[in-house]
Amino acid sequence: MAGRTKGPLTEPMYYVLMSFLRSGMCGTEITEFVAQKTQGRVCLGPGTLYTLLAKFQEEELIVETEISGRKRTYCITEKGLAAFREELARLRACVENGEEELLQCAKNL
């Protein structure tokens, strides 16, 4: 099954999807996961996070699994997992291309 068809994921999008790989999470847990995983390099404000969550729900990459007061918990779908895997493969190819070019550059020096 194909994942996302709207182009590559941004870095915040990538890490938000990654946050769901082990379990469902609420907004606060997602923000903490991303900050910890990236050592603070990627900081999600509420506007960014909830815009991404709405977009991912619309694209059926995640589903809301629980509502408790204002707390909403989400988990990744098969389509979301496919989108994450596609992006991971794209990023690996980018790194591989960059490493190849660095090797060629070193040979030319």
> For residue 17, is it within any domain?
yes
> For residue 3, is it within any domain?
no
Q: Is the per-residue pLDDT at 1 higher than 60?
A: no
Contact yes or no for 47/84 (Cβ under 8 A): no
Give the model confidence (pLDDT) of 36-48 as tens digits: 999 999 999 999 9
Query: Which structure tokens are listed for 68?
Result: 């408790």
Give the model confidence (pLDDT) of 58-106 as tens digits: 999 999 999 999 999 999 999 999 999 999 999 999 999 999 999 988 8
Contact yes or no for 25/17 (Cβ under 8 A): no
Q: Domain containing 82 — which CATH number?
A: 1.10.10.10
Q: How far is CA 25 from CA 29, 48, 54, in A?
A: 6, 16, 14
Q: What is the pLDDT of residue 105?
A: 87
* Domain boundaries, position 20: 11-108
* Number of structural domains the chain divides into: 1
Answering whether pTM is above 0.85, one says: yes
